[in-house]
Amino acid sequence: MRALYRSWLLGIGMLCVFAGAAGSQAQQTRSGTDRPGSILMFPKVVRTGQRDTIVQITNTGNSINWVHCFYLSAPDGSGYCGAVDFELVLTRQQPTQWRVSQGRRVDPTDSFGSAGAGFDPGLIPPVPPGFQGALVCVEVDANGDPRGQNRLKGEVTIMDDNTGDVSKYNAFAVAAVSQSLSNPLALDGSEYETCPGSLTLNFSPRGSLDPVIEDLGNANLNSFIATNLTLLSCNLDLAAGVRSNGTVSYIVYDEFESPFSGSFPHQCWTTIDLGNTPQTTGQFRSTLLTGGAIATIFAQAQLTLPTGLVGVAESFHIDQAGVTGSAASNLHTGGARSAAIRLP
Amino acid sequence: MKKMWQAAARMGVGAGVALVAMAGIANARSTTNRPASIVVWPKIVVDTSARWLVAPTDTRLMLSSTNASGIKQAHCFYINATGHCSNDGAGCRDATDCGGRGECVPSWNETDFDVVLTQEQPLAWYASDGLARGQFPLEGPFRCNAPFVNLQCFSDAQCPNNVGCNTGQSNLGSAIPPVPEDPFIGALVCIQFTGGSQSVPDQTATRDKLYGDATILTGLNPARYNAVGLEATGNPVSNGQLVLADGGNYASCPGVLILSHMFDGAVDPITNNVAIQYISDLTLVPCSNDFSTQTPGRSVAQFLVFNEFEQRFSTSRTVDCLFHATQLSRIDTRNPARSIFSAGVAGTLGGQTRIRGVGGVSPLGSGLLGVAQANFPTGTLSSAAYDLHQQGNGRSDLMILP
């Protein structure tokens, strides 16, 4: 009898070991920027100075898709996460686009080839000048209740109307894993997929010389690389606009494998110029700059927030005449964190 | 004896149930967000004399390890897809680069090399330069083990009394050549190996530790995208044949690639300046390659194009090693104004194109990977690269190592 008991224990033990191994593999969220989902998060939407943002959203499915979208505004860095919402209806496989400074009207008489040509997806309000924030869109049904079709994808193009300089990134898509969804949206792996637990960024420390501009462009050892990082919490209260406080921890490795670490406060939405703010000076700066810590021109940063976050980086390459080119990039993700999004 | 069999059976049931659970989780797909074991950069461009492009161009490649302890080795293949003009032998992407005086004769070859990455190490290089010995960050000199810690060394032989050289983790063994010609267009594939003396494709518990990105710098204009990753399944590789499929060695390639774009020639509605027209380019590479016999993957890309009226168009092109359309509206015609990718034909600004790889040369598959670049030809070229979305799993693909 004892042997029988032991053998069952051994079997259960093996089950636990294998399940544990499987679980550790599953600790990585499957959400990402390369496949459609039911929640789209655009971490960086701007209309500041000469910069404007073009949003593209596409229904990749063969049935109609109702979408509830929210502009999150964080104009003064206070962390207030006020939202302005609007609704879209996308027919099968329909792409749509708009400039955030203009929004999109409902006008069936739009001329062929004009900005508003195509089936009007709904009235999209323009954002005010000086807007900095994010856009979050959620698949819903005709009644406005959450629905998980996993058919939405999106892109953003940030354009400088003065210089024509553009940068582009894909929206972060969170897929629904259940057909039984409720408000608040649970990004916990049972209703929706989880959010990333950490973000990884490859970057050149602020103040690095750009070898290509130095060799082939207008530089004379005066080129300059800077990086802007924008983060959006996965925990969002879109009903009340309540901010979520937290601290982002980071660790930076240069090519010598030397680590530098620190943290900075984060409230709902944060945008920072790496190495140029009190919280991130030093660890994100080249040794070319006073107080810079990083001795190589390439580095890797890992960022974590206890409640999960998504983000996008934008690098700026500047020559000695001050002419600037920019490129946005999606961050790599690791781990998994549960979060919740409360809809009105 | 009977009890032993019963016990073994129960253990087997437990293990079987757990393995089934794991199999479900292990149904991995390609990714541009997470570390993986195969990393593919579909587009690398070098044109330092601005022969093809409006300004000198180079590509910065970054490859990083997320392994928290120990080195990882990447075995990498530059795929050179630069064609050559029939008239003067100059490098070309298509016939337009030959000035209308010759055809662009396609060619293909690969160059492979090894990179050893230490734990958590980011590494970057410019495709035109590569990284030679002496340019890697951690190459020594190192220190001999005690009691000769004041002596510098590169190998055990340089330390007295056989105490050995404490090399720790280093990039020794790495060498990255420059791309084989300039101008150059091609791709890069890196496969994670275990490192050490018996290095094999990594299917250990610390697989999936590599990720990368590329920045194509044209003059002052950077265009950046994330490399595509294919996660390992844990199934050991045999005979140097990497099977990219459910139940294979690595995640399968996408079934469908989805490209959102502005139609070519669409005039910017805000400035209404006809000089500012949206133009997109597209690069596709096959998932399959036979590096052993230098046989490139080959498949047919079927394009399904939707405009904002939900109207549908389609076309197809052969992807032989690497397909690069300098603008979408040259995919289906030599007259861009008549293309289904032209704003004048589609009638709307925004479009969605679904791309599916079909055909393929046996035993290689037909899966495709790709990257797009949106170009805004204002006074100076301005462009932004971005990764394609993907849907579903493709059928089986195969990479054969030399």
Dump pLDDT digits (tens) for A223-252: 899 999 999 999 898 887 777 778 899 999
Mean pLDDT rounded to a whole number for chain A: 86
**B303 in a domain, yes or no?**
yes
Residue B345: per-residue pLDDT: 93
**10-residue averages of pLDDT along chain B (402 residues):** 51 44 45 93 95 91 90 92 92 86 87 91 92 84 86 85 84 90 95 82 92 91 94 92 92 93 84 80 94 89 94 93 91 92 92 92 90 80 90 88 89
Q: What is the pLDDT of residues A138-171, one digit of tens each?
A: 999 999 999 999 999 999 999 988 888 899 999 9
Burial (0-12, 13-18, 19+ Cβ within 10 Å), B109: middle
B23 assigned to some structural domain: no
Q: Does B140 touch chain A (CB under 8 A)?
A: no
**In chain A, whose CA is at the least distance from the CA of B11?**
A11
On whether both B141 and B47 belong to a single domain, the answer is no
* Cβ(B250)–Cβ(B394) below 8 Å: no
Residue pair A149/A65 in contact (Cβ under 8 Å)? The answer is: yes
Tokens describing residue A306: 């206890």
Q: Which CATH fold topology does A198-336 show? A: Hypothetical Protein Tm1070; Chain: A (2.60.290)
Give how far A115 is from chain B: nearest CA, Å.
Answer: 6
Instruction: Test A35 with B389 for CB contact under 8 angstroms.
Output: yes
| Residue that terminates a domain, selected from B148, B169, B190 | B169
pLDDT level of residue A25 (50, 70, 90 thresholds): very low
B10, B213, B269 ranked by CB distance to A329: nearest? B213
**A212 neighbourhood in chain B, CB within 8 Å:** 56, 58, 60, 126, 217
- Please answer yes or no on whether B217 and A317 come within 8 Å at the CB atom: yes
Q: Is the ipTM, as predicted for this complex, more than 0.85?
A: no
Q: Does A263 touch chain B (CB under 8 A)?
A: no
Pairing type for strands A245-254 and A299-304 reads antiparallel
B294 and B202 in a single domain? The answer is yes
Q: Across the beta sheet with B104-105, what order do the strands follow?
A: B91-92, B83-85, B104-105
What residues contact residue A26 under an 8 Å CB cut-off, 6+ apart? A336, B25
Give the pLDDT band (50/70/90) at residue A29. Answer: low
The CA angle A284-A290-A296, to the nearest 5 degrees, is 45
Q: What is the pLDDT of residue B223?
A: 93
Task: For chain A, positions 293-332, list CB contacts with chain B under 8 A.
Answer: 296-300, 315, 317-319, 323-332
The predicted structure's pLDDT at residue B270: 65
Task: Please tell me which of A66-70, A118-122, A234-238, B133-137 the model is most confident about, judged by mean pLDDT.
Answer: A66-70
Tens of pLDDT, residues A89-98: 999 999 999 9
Q: What is the pLDDT of residue B5?
A: 52
Number of domains, chain B = 2
Residues 6+ apart with CB under 8 A from B12: none
Structure tokens that stand for B312 in this block = 């549908």
Q: Where is B244: in which H helix or E strand?
A: strand B241-244
Give the pLDDT confidence score for residue A244 in this predicted structure. 72
State whether residue A161 sits within 8 Å of chain B by CB. yes
B292 with B154, same domain: the answer is no
> Is residue A282 pLDDT above 70, yes or no?
yes
B56 lies within 8 A of chain A by CB:
yes
* Best CA proximity match to B317, nearest among B260, B378, B359, B365: B359
- Domain co-membership, B162 together with B311: no
In chain B, which residue's Cα lies nearest the Cα of A300? B122
Q: Which of A6, A114, A326 sits opposite B269 (nearest CB)?
A: A114
| Predicted pLDDT at A21 | 38
Residues of B with Cβ-Cβ distance to A58 under 8 angstroms: 258, 260, 352
Q: Is B213 on the interface with A (CB under 8 A)?
A: yes
Domain ranges of chain A: 39-187, 198-336
pLDDT at res. A219: 81
Q: B286 by DSSP, 3-state: which?
A: strand
Same domain for B187 and B151, yes or no, is no
> Is residue B11 in some structural domain?
no
> How many percent of chain B have pLDDT more than 70?
90
Instruction: Give domain A39-187's CATH superfamily.
Output: TM1070-like (2.60.290.11)
> What range does the domain containing B146 cover?
137-169
Kindly determine whether residue A315 and residue B310, on different chains, have CB atoms separated by under 8 Å.
no
Is the CB of residue A112 less than 8 Å away from at least one CB of chain B?
yes
Task: Name the H helices within chain A.
Answer: 2-26, 211-216
Percent of chain A with pLDDT over 90: 53
Question: How does B293-317 read in b/e, with b if 16+ C-beta sit within 10 Å?
Answer: eeebbbbbbbbbbbbbebeebebbb
Query: Do B337 and B255 fall into the same domain?
Result: yes
Smallest CA-to-CA distance from B350 within B305, B322, B308, B393 is with: B308
Find the CB nearest A157 among B32, B211, B384.
B384
Residue type, A154: G
> Do B80 and B162 share a structural domain?
no
